[in-house]
Amino acid sequence: MVGGSPAAFEIARLAFACMGKNIVHVGDAGAGQVAKAANQIVTGVGVLTVAEALNFAARSGVDPAKVREALLGGFAYSKILENHGQRMLDRNFKPGFKSWMHQKDMNIVMQSAHELGLCLPVSAATAQMYNAMVGCGLGEEDSIAILKLLERLSGGEGEN
């Protein structure tokens, strides 16, 4: 996700190639930041929805692992469901992307939305959930620990 003039992008392209495979020039200076914020919307909301689905299944008395397996075979498939969903089932909340970092990024999204006068209701709700995570002492855990918060809010333990 790169912003800047086409000439500057061409000069830096080789350096970017050392950092990753999918290098996309998205526009002028600042456009890369917008793309990063859009990525945080999709990932933040995605993690929350997977956690909600697994918590819903478990609280309904249905094996969340089986529900995940079924969802992976349909339109609900996503890398978040595949990778992070499994980590949630395994209760593997070791930090990869800490919750406070997702809180920070969602705050950037919401500040930008405010400045632009945009309505982002799902992003706003997701931002509040990450605020609650940090407020509950889960800020140093991976963002997938949002499952723990949902479990607590649903009357479960959410401890592990």
In what helix (H) or strand (E) does residue 27 lie, and over which residues does it extend?
strand 25-27
Q: 16-73 pLDDT, tens per residue?
A: 888 888 899 999 999 999 999 999 999 999 999 999 999 999 999 999 999 999 999 9
Q: Give catalytic residue positions.
A: 36
Q: Model's pTM, two decimal places? A: 0.89
Q: 39-53 pLDDT, tens per residue?
A: 999 999 999 999 999
Domain residue ranges in the chain: 32-153
pLDDT value, residue 13: 87
Q: 109-135 pLDDT, tens per residue?
A: 999 999 999 999 999 999 999 999 999
The 10 Å Cβ neighbour count of residue 128 is: 13
Decide which of 3.40.50.720, 3.20.190.10, 2.60.40.1180, 1.10.1040.10 is the CATH code for 32-153: 1.10.1040.10
7, 15, 23, 24, 101 from 20: Cα distances, Å:
20, 9, 7, 10, 21
What six digits make up the tokens of 85? 């969903």
Asked whether 142 and 93 are in contact (CB, 8 A), the reply is: yes
pLDDT value, residue 158: 61
β-strand partners of 69: none
Per-residue pLDDT band at 84 (split at 50, 70, 90):
very high
SS3 call for 142 = strand
